[in-house]
Amino acid sequence: MQCSWKAVILLALASIAIQYTAIRTLTSKPFQLCPVPSPQNCGLLGGSETESPIEGRAGCDDYPYFSFNASRKTHIMVLATTRSGSSFVGQLLNQHADIFYLFEPLYHVQTTLIPRLSHSRNAADRRVMLGASRDLLRSLYGCDLYFLESYIKPAPANHTTDKLFRRGASRALCSLPVCDAFGPTDANVEEGDCVKKCASLNMTLAADACREKRHVAIKVVRVPEIGDLRALVEDPRLNIKVIQLVRDPRGILSSRIETFRDTYRLWRIWRATGRRPYNLDLSQLTVVCEDFLGSVSTGLSHPHWLKGKYMLVRYEDLSRNPLLKTMEIYDFLGLPMDKSVEEWIQTNTRGSTELSAKHKYGTVRDSAANAESWRLKLSYDMVEYTQATCHKVLHQLGYKAVKSAEELKNMSLSLVQDKTFVPFS
Ligand SMILES: *[C@@H]1O[C@H](CO)[C@@H](O)[C@H](O)[C@H]1NC(C)=O
Ligand SMILES: *[C@@H]1O[C@H](CO)[C@@H](O)[C@H](O)[C@H]1NC(C)=O
Ligand SMILES: *[C@@H]1O[C@H](CO)[C@@H](O)[C@H](O)[C@H]1NC(C)=O
Ligand SMILES: *[C@@H]1O[C@H](CO)[C@@H](O)[C@H](O)[C@H]1NC(C)=O
C-alpha cells in the first residue's frame, strides 16, 4: 500500500504522545500548558493573582518574561506614600545610566479601578487594587509596557499614547531613541520640556528602551503594606529589592495640606481657626499611620521572604546627608553608583542656590532644615493630635514627640533621633 509508511510514522507519533501523556500524568509536578507566564497562569509561580479585573488579555506570546536574561536584572521598588520624598529617591535611581525608571505606574490602575477614592479603606476595593497592581508590576519589571495600556485612558492607539502619567519624570522616556527632541548631550531634560517637546510615547520603543537597560526601578505609593507584596517578592522570575521610604507623619501631613489643597481643606481651616472642624476626615491621618505601622513592623521583623531584599530609609536621614545615604542605597542594591547620580545630588541639594527657583526639587535643598520645616507650619494642637494618633509609629521610627509649642518651634532641637536601620542582609 502506497501510504503505509506514513501510517507507520503516524502510529509511532501517536504512541509517543500517549507515553508522554502517561509520564506527565505520573509526575507529581504541576504541568504548565503555557511555557511563558501570562497573567492567567502566573499564579502558579507567584501566588494567586486572580483578582485583576482587566478583560481581554492577549495570549502567552505577549508576556516575554523568559525571552531575555532576567537573572541579571535587579528589580528595584521604592515603596512609599505620597509626600514622603519618594520623587527625590526616584530621581536618585532615574539618574543612573543602567536603570530604567517609571514614576508611579499604579496611578493608572487606581484611576481606572477606583476613580472615586484616593485612600480607600474599603477592603474589597483594596483587594482589587492590589491584585491588579501586582500583575501590572510583574509585567512592567519584565518590560512589558503593553500591559499598562489596558489602564490608560483614553486607550492608546497603535501602541502610542500621550497620557502616560508623569512620563517626563523618566529619563529613558525623554531621550533617544524613545524621544528624538533632544540630543544625546542634553543631560537633564526638565519634566515639562519633555512633555512639551517629545512626540507621543511609542510604547514599543519604550519597552525596547527598558530591555536595553540592565535594571528596572519603579516608584510605588499605592501599595499600603509591604506584606501585600510578598507574592511579588517571592516570585522566582523577579529579583526584587524594596527600598521602603518613611517620613515623620507630621511632616507628611503638613506637606499634604500644602499640596492637596482641596482634599485637605478642613485641615487648613483647623490651622487657620485653631478649631478642629467636626467633620474633619481623620482617616486622612490614621491611614498613613496604620499603614506605616503595619508595613514597617513587617519589614523590621525581618521575615525570611525579605532576606536580602529590604532596606528602610528615613527621608530625614536622606535629607541630612544625601550623598552618604545614596551610597548606602546603592550598596544595598549591589550596584555601583554612577557619576551622574552624584552630580544630580550636587545640583539638587546643597550648593548652586541660584538654581533653586528653577528646580523642582528645591524643597530638598538645605534639606536638613527643610525636612523639619513642618514644625513652623502646623499648629501645636494639630501636632499634639497627630502625635496621639500616631504615637506607636513615631516611636518605632525614632521621631520625638514635643510637649509644648515652644519645643515645637525651637528648631535648634531636632525631633529626629539618631537611629540606624541596617538593610536586612
Ligand atoms: C544571564 O546573565 C548572567 C550574568 O550576566 C549569566 O551568568 C547567565 O549565564 C545568563 N543566563 C543565561 C540563560 O543566558
Ligand atoms: C493606526 O495605524 C493604522 C495603520 O498604520 C492607521 O490606519 C490608523 O489610522 C492608526 N490609528 C490611529 C488612531 O492613529
Ligand atoms: C513605534 O516604534 C516601532 C519600533 O520602532 C515602529 O515599528 C512603529 O511603527 C512605531 N509606531 C508608531 C505609531 O509610530
Ligand atoms: C531651644 O532649645 C535649646 C536646646 O535645648 C535651648 O538651649 C534653648 O534655650 C531653646 N530656646 C528657646 C527659645 O527655648
Q: Which three cell numbers stand for residue 73?
A: 536584572
* Ligand 4 centroid to residue 395 C-alpha, Å: 23
Any ligand 1 atom below 6 A from CB of 69? yes
pTM, rounded to two decimals? 0.79
Q: Is the pLDDT of residue 147 over 70?
A: yes
Q: Which ligand is nearest to the CA of 406?
A: 4
Any ligand 3 atom below 6 A from CB of 158? yes
Q: What is the pLDDT of residue 9?
A: 63
Q: What is the pLDDT of residue 238?
A: 93
The residue that leads in pLDDT, 44 or 117, is: 117
pLDDT (tens digit per residue) in 49-59: 333 333 333 33
For residue 160, give the ligand 2 atom closest to its CA: 14
Q: Which ligand is nearest to the CA of 402?
A: 4
Phi-psi region at 85: left, alpha or beta (left = phi > 0; alpha = psi -120 to 50): left
Strands ordered across the beta sheet of 215-220: 99-103, 215-220, 75-79, 240-246, 310-314
Q: Determine contact, residues 299/310, Cβ cutoff 8 Å.
A: yes
* Ligand 1 centroid to residue 68 C-alpha, Å: 10
Any ligand 3 atom below 6 A from CB of 202? yes
For residue 112, give the H/E element and its range. Answer: helix 106-113
Q: What is the pLDDT of residue 145?
A: 93
pLDDT band at 8 (very low <50, low <70, confident <90, very high): low
* Ligand 4 centroid to residue 415 C-alpha, Å: 13
Lowest mean pLDDT across 29-43, 95-109, 211-225, 402-416: 29-43
Q: Which ligand is nearest to the CA of 203?
A: 3
Q: What is the pLDDT of residue 364?
A: 45
Q: Is the pLDDT of residue 365 over 60?
A: no
pLDDT (tens digit per residue) in 58-77: 333 344 444 444 457 999 99
What letter would DSSP give residue 156?
P
Instruction: Please tell me the distance from the alpha carbon of residue 324 to that of residue 318, in angstroms, as a whole number.
Output: 8
Any ligand 3 atom below 6 A from CB of 206? no
DSSP 296-363: HHHHHT--GGGTTSEEEEEHHHHHH-HHHHHHHHHHHHT-PPPHHHHHHHHHHSSS-GGGTTT-GGGG
Instruction: Please tell me the distance from the alpha carbon of residue 76 to that of residue 62, in angstroms, as a whole number.
Output: 23
Neighbours of 206 (CB within 10 A): 25
* Ligand 1 centroid to residue 92 C-alpha, Å: 27
Q: What is the pLDDT of residue 391?
A: 95
Average pLDDT over residues 253-282: 90
Residue nearest to atom 3 of ligand 2 (CA): 158
Q: What is the pLDDT of residue 183?
A: 81
Q: What is the pLDDT of residue 315?
A: 94
Q: What is the pLDDT of residue 350?
A: 67
* Ligand 2 centroid to residue 158 C-alpha, Å: 6
Q: Is the pLDDT of residue 408 over 90?
A: yes
Residues with Cβ within 6 A of ligand 2? Answer: 157-158
Average pLDDT over residues 299-323: 94
The residue that leads in pLDDT, 311 or 368, is: 311
* Ligand 4 centroid to residue 366 C-alpha, Å: 22
* Ligand 3 centroid to residue 200 C-alpha, Å: 11
Q: What is the pLDDT of residue 6?
A: 67
pLDDT (tens digit per residue) in 86-118: 889 999 999 999 999 999 999 998 888 876 555
Average pLDDT, the chain: 81
CA distances to 103, 230, 319, 365, 419 from 233, rounded to whole Å, are 19, 5, 28, 34, 26
Neighbour-count burial of 45, counting CB atoms closer than 10 A to its CB (0-12 exposed, 13-18 middle, 19+ buried): middle
pLDDT (tens digit per residue) in 237-247: 999 999 999 99
Could you tell which of 149, 158, 204 is best to mutate to test the pocket of ligand 2, judged by most ligand atoms within 8 Å of the CB?
A: 158
Residue nearest to atom 6 of ligand 2 (CA): 158
Q: Which ligand is nearest to the CA of 404?
A: 4
Number of helices (H), then strands (E), belonging to the chain: the values are: 20, 7
Residue nearest to atom 5 of ligand 2 (CA): 158
Q: Which ligand is nearest to the CA of 207?
A: 3
- Calculate what percentage of the chain has a pLDDT beyond 90: 55
Q: What is the pLDDT of residue 369?
A: 58
Neighbour-count burial of 420, counting CB atoms closer than 10 A to its CB (0-12 exposed, 13-18 middle, 19+ buried): exposed
Average pLDDT over residues 206-219: 95
The residues near 361 (Cβ < 8 Å, ≥ 6 apart) are 87, 88, 91, 348, 349
